[in-house]
């Protein structure tokens, strides 16, 4: 079995020469897929499986002593990928320092000052990380609205937060930028949500002034078989589902979904309004108008769209 680079432990670009890797050799191994980049200037042997412990060890190499891991990076430590679609391949960790306690000065890191209580931080395998509750609150304040809700839904679905505790937590925050958005979104966090696309679609429905759907509603047929519908209205047999690129891009997935929907339509009379990224984001309002007609309601005008994959304007403030 080939020897692992650095015995399988993460290492930095600066440490590579001590491991016998010149810059040219490191680039070659990266190109060949023999090592993988965890963060900017932090690498690990590609044979080492991804794990929380490995992530924390790599993160420790990119985190200065005065910093607290925060935001999407903290969620990553907690085991969740809540990065906005445009930031999924951003290898820059996010961290903060207490307000008035200096700055984060580390190449390849995003840093900010923040007001933070002692109870908002936990010590995870040698790293200071914002708690799941504080991390969710920060993401609700700082992320673009649909991505923020998807992040909070993911924390609730994983059982890392209680939505009622979250509502109470953000209600008591004072003087934080983005708190109005955080409070409005905390009130609609849904633990049953199983994908970011469902979160985006549910938010589009609610922001259109339409009634809330019944997430992950179970339909049991005459043979005892269960069928779950993402965001339906069971009383009127209207089902809405989100067809995302990740799980609905090949023919097998599409055939499976269509067969399920056709069966529920033919046997029980369900009608379907299907959301896609193009229908949920952007200027195409056909999704909510089609759903509104099915429900006998007129949707409100659309007021958020696409074009933003990162943080809202002003997100680098000391809050």
Q: What is the pLDDT of residues 174-230, one digit of tens each?
A: 888 999 999 999 999 999 999 999 999 999 999 999 999 999 999 999 999 999 999
- Per the CB < 8 A criterion, the answer to whether 123 and 130 are in contact is no
pLDDT on residue 270: 98
Q: Map tokens 């992320």 to a residue.
A: 143
CA angle 189, 190, 191 (to 5 degrees): 120
- Taking the chain, what is the end-to-end CA distance rounded to the nearest angstrom? 50
pLDDT on residue 229: 97
Q: Map tokens 């109870």 to a residue.
A: 119
| pTM of structure | 0.86
17-53 per-position pLDDT tens digit:
999 999 999 999 999 999 999 888 899 999 999 888 8
pLDDT on residue 52: 81
Distance CA 57, CA 127 (A): 9
pLDDT on residue 108: 54
pLDDT on residue 278: 93
Residue 272 pairs in a beta bridge with 239
Distance CA 312, CA 308 (A): 8
Distance CA 45, CA 313 (A): 37
- Average pLDDT of the chain, as a whole number: 89
Distance CA 97, CA 103 (A): 6
**Residues of the chain where predicted confidence (pLDDT) is lower than 70:** 1, 89, 100-110, 245-250, 306-319
pLDDT on residue 92: 83
Close Cβ partners of 309 (under 8 Å, ≥ 6 residues apart): 84, 85, 86, 87, 144, 147
φ, ψ of residue 287 to 5 degrees: the values are -60, -55
pLDDT on residue 101: 59
Is the four-CA dihedral 59, 65, 68, 70 of positive or negative sign?
negative
């Amino acid at each position: 079995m080939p020897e692992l680079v650095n015995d399988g432990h993460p290492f930095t670009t600066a440490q590579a020469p001590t491991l016998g890797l010149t810059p040219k050799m490191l680039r070659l191994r990266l190109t060949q897929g023999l090592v993988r980049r965890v963060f900017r200037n932090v690498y690990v042997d590609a044979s080492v499986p991804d794990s929380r412990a490995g992530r924390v060890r790599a993160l420790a190499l990119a985190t200065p002593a005065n910093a607290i891991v925060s935001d999407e990076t903290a969620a990553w430590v907690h085991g969740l990928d809540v990065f906005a679609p445009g930031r999924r391949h951003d290898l820059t960790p996010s961290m903060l320092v207490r307000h008035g306690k200096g700055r984060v000065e580390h190449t390849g890191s995003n840093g900010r000052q923040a007001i933070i209580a002692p109870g908002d931080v936990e010590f995870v395998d040698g790293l200071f990380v914002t708690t799941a509750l504080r991390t969710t609150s920060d993401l609700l304040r700082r992320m673009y609205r649909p991505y923020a809700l998807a992040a909070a839904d993911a924390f609730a679905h994983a059982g890392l937060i209680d939505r009622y505790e979250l509502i109470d937590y953000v209600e008591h925050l004072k003087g934080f930028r983005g708190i109005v958005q955080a409070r409005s979104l905390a009130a609609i966090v849904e633990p049953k949500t199983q994908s970011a696309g469902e979160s985006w679609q549910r938010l589009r429905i609610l922001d259109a002034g339409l009634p809330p759907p019944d997430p992950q509603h179970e339909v049991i047929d005459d043979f005892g078989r269960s069928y779950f519908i993402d965001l339906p209205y069971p009383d009127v047999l209207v089902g809405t589902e989100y067809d995302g690129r990740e799980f609905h891009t090949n023919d097998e997935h599409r055939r499976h979904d269509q067969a399920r929907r056709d069966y529920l339509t033919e046997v029980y009379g369900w009608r379907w309004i299907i959301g896609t990224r193009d229908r949920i984001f952007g200027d195409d309002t056909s999704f909510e108008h089609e759903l509104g007609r099915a429900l006998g309601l007129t949707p409100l005008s659309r007021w958020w769209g696409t074009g933003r994959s990162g943080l809202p304007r002003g997100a680098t403030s000391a809050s």
